[in-house]
Amino acid sequence: MSLKFNALLSNLKKKGVFSGPPLPDIFTVGTCRIVASLNQIHRDNQCLVVEPKVMEVLVYLASRQGEVCSKQQLMDAIWPAPVSDGAVSRVITLLRKALADSTDSPRYIQTIAKKGYQFIAVVEVSMSEPMHINKFESSTSPAIRHAQKLFIPFVACTLLILLVLVVTHLIPSPPTDQATTFTKPPSFQKVTSESGREYDAQLSADASWLVYRHKNNQEQPYQLYLKQLQTNRTIQLTDNGFDHRSPALSHDKRSIAYFQKGQNQCALRRLTLLPNGEPDTIHTLHLCGALEHYSNVVWSPDDKWLYFTDRANSSVPYQIYRLELATNRLETMTSRENNFYGDNELALSPSGRSLLFFRNKYWGNNQVYVMDLTTNALKKIGELGFLSWKPSWSPDEKSIVFSDNRNGGKLNRLDISTGQITTFYQSPKAIQYPMFSADGKRVVFSEESIVANLWETKLTALHENSVESTVTPKKLALSSSGVERQPAYSPDGRKLAFLSDRNGEMQLWIADDEQLVAAPMLPKGAIIDSFSWSPDNQQLVIATKDKALLRYQLTTQTIDELLHEQSAAFPIYAHDGLKLYFSSDKSGQWEIWSFNLQNGETHQVTTSGGYQVKLAADDTTMYITKYDQTGIWQYDLKTGVENEIIADLARTTQYTLCDNTLYYEKQVMTGDVWQYSVIDSDTQLAFTLPRKTQISFDVTPNCQKMAFAYQEDLQADIVELSWNE
């Protein structure tokens, strides 16, 4: 039994709330295998990692199988400080979700009205996991012990067979000359646990070194590090004022290729290493145009070529290039696409014969392509339907691994021959940049912990031109311990809509003075991108990341689709409630369109570009951003005349309009909100967050308050998932 699990049981024991035979670290409930010390639930060919509180509640209930446990009992046993009933309900909801349980037809947790919860599933223990009865009192009767002697061997044998089948099905087959049979579930090890963020982990071919980038906080640039895993020695490789990204270790462990960015510069560089891993010399290989955003680089198997992504500037899509190190000869591998990011993520197969890359279709979809480097033949494998970053080939070249962070974090495997996607690991935390080891027995990745709550501040002082007198923000009571974002006040100011993952998935919620209600779940796979209120406060129009347009009716709790024939983004109601305005690329470029809610007709409004849109109160003026230009434009709907009023703002800039004032984020990740008067063009700083980070916000209709959400903390550690032989 692990020390972590012993501590969990000891804590319950000390509180006097632990009854029933103690459970070992590993046990089975229903069809789920539980590894308590790792917070893992294994079911349906998946490994789900749950929050520690969720596992503690599961262990508590399972140890009292058949008993009715009140919410107060759970609060006394699990929470060290007083919490509300809502905290218990949230954890029970997450536990049911992890167990694939249902409140209508429960198989694990039965709700007993006004009394509590009853664990109704069978709890089984394998003989290979001793009960450690000598450490805790046991009241198991002789009859029960006799039944266990007859039943446990059968259960252990059955579980072993099931585990072999599950793992054989999940793990990509290694090359024939490295044939290995996996008979145990994966194990997990946190490789780094520094304060701050670690990303872009890559193991050396012999799995003795790990390279990655790290920074302590948002204000610092990323530096490169090398960790020698056998001795746990960590070496800092870079130390300057630039960001260092996408470190790629050569197969001979003599060099690291990486991108250095910042201060309006971008360079692909090569750092040579001494035999002990210490940095030696740095050479600039290529001056890149992707001054912002992410770039990716990989080595060829013989370490003679580098494959990387780059673009001429931030307004054109990425392409893939190949650089011959001996001659510095540069070759273009893919053509420039007329879409959002273009070919922005790549992975070279271990043999060097196949180049896989993600082609970004707008910002909400990755198309997967494989190029045969011997023939240059290009094959489309499929579409993910969402964005992912930095895929990695399996050693047998039959599949790739990539992450899916639409709801929590998933590690997915894509079969190259069939295009089939399977999930082999799931976590409530976001997963970034998974990478296979050379032998295929390990995957290293970054796992994020994010806290982003809802806050509110008064803006009365702003209208008196006194920023200093602005009231200190307060955290809204409806905030959870998870991630909230995109607050939006209803037109009457009585309701607040926002996105939250408090139930384990990012979902739309509506709050007022009396209740907090979750909107129905969207169709499977649909993810909310933006939304806005109807003038009557009874509807929300929703744009999904795959460009569908939906309408949510609050009174009936129903969702229906509005548009079927064209893509749509950033919808907003006209103040008379008769029209919607939104952006679409139906004409070939992003423009503002209108949708008549009475007859269903659409009409293109702008002809020189339009992306986000806000409407003045009289519905005669729009304030828009553009897809391929920076700034905010004022557009007269009667005359079609437009003029730029604020320069140098990105197309995705967060902004809102209240009365005759625009509130906007001048630069992403600064934490500053500015205000601009459309009457006299006066500009001033409206609000500053306590730290530099991205913010989403809205202003009440009377312009007196601002609700906002921002990332209060982000930690990212490197985790190794491995399969033992």
Domains and CATH numbers, the chain: 3-168 (1.10.10.10), 196-403 (2.120.10.30), 450-655+696-713 (2.120.10.30), 656-695 (no CATH)
Q: Give the model confidence (pLDDT) of 29-64 as tens digits.
A: 999 999 988 888 998 888 888 888 889 999 999 999
pLDDT, one tens digit per residue, over 364-377 is 678 999 999 999 99
- pLDDT tens-digit map of 414-423: 999 999 999 8
Q: For the segment 677-722, what is each residue's pLDDT rounded down to a tens digit?
A: 999 999 998 888 766 677 899 999 999 999 999 887 788 999 898 8
Taking the C-alpha atoms of residue 128 and residue 27, their distance in angstroms, rounded to an integer, is: 10
Q: What percent of the chain has pLDDT over 90?
A: 52
Q: What is the mean pLDDT of residues 434-455?
A: 90
Q: Which amino acid is at 167?
A: V
The larger pLDDT score, comparing residue 158 to residue 113, is at: 113
Q: What is the mean pLDDT of residues 317-339?
A: 92
What's 186-199 look like in SS3?
CEEEECCCCCCEEE
Q: Average pLDDT for residues 480-487, to the nearest whole number?
A: 85
Q: What percentage of the chain has pLDDT greater than the value 70?
A: 84
| CA–CA gap between residue 116 and residue 289 (Å, rounded) | 60
- Report the first-to-last Cα separation within the chain, whole angstroms: 21
Position 86 scores a pLDDT of 66
Contacts of 357 (CB under 8 A, 6+ apart): 320, 334, 343, 345, 346, 347, 368, 369, 371
Q: What's residue 583's pLDDT?
A: 95
The per-residue pLDDT for 689 is 76
pLDDT in tens, 14-24: 444 344 557 88
Task: Work out the widest C-alpha separation in the chain, in whole angstroms.
Answer: 90
Q: Give dist(CA 43, CA 123) in Å, integer.
A: 15
Buried-state track 40-61, b at ≥16 Cβ within 10 A, e below 16: bbbbeebbbbbbebbbbbbbbb
Measured from the Cβ of residue 195, the count of other Cβ atoms closer than 10 Å reads: 9
Task: Determine the Cα–Cα distance for residues 363 and 368; give it in Å rounded to an integer.
Answer: 14
pLDDT of residue 240: 94
Give the predicted TM-score (pTM) of the model: 0.65
Query: Does the structure show a pLDDT above 90 at 205?
Result: yes
Cα separation, 417 vs 394, in Å, equals 13
Q: So what's the pLDDT on residue 189? A: 86
> What pLDDT, on the 0 to 100 scale, is given for residue 82?
63
| Residues whose CB is less than 8 angstroms from the CB of residue 681 and which lie 6 or more positions away in sequence, other chains included | 645
Q: How far is CA 147 from CA 142, 153, 396, 406, 653, in A?
A: 9, 11, 46, 45, 65
Which pLDDT band holds residue 313 (cuts at 50, 70, 90)?
confident
User: Quick one: pLDDT at residue 145?
Assistant: 37
pLDDT on residue 5? 42
For residue 162, what is the enclosing H or E element?
A: helix 142-170
Give 13's pLDDT tier (boundaries 50, 70, 90).
very low
pLDDT given for residue 150 in this prediction: 36
Q: How confident is the model at residue 362 (pLDDT cuts 50, 70, 90)?
A: low
Rounded distance between C-alpha atoms, residue 274 and residue 597, angstroms: 68
Tokens 């069939």 correspond to 418
Q: What are the tens digits of pLDDT across the range 489-545?
A: 999 999 999 999 887 778 899 999 888 888 988 876 678 999 999 999 999 999 987
Calculate the average pLDDT of the chain. 84
Q: Is the pLDDT of residue 172 over 60?
A: no
Give CA–CA dist 192/206, Å, rounded: 19
Q: For residue 363, what pLDDT band results from cuts at 50, 70 and 90? A: low
- Predicted confidence at residue 336, as pLDDT, reads 86
Write down the pLDDT at residue 722.
86
Q: What is the pLDDT of residue 68?
A: 92
Would you call 57 helix, strand, or coil by DSSP? Answer: helix
Q: How many angstroms separate the Cα of 349 from the Cα of each of 182, 355, 404, 532?
A: 23, 6, 21, 44
Higher pLDDT, 91 or 254: 254
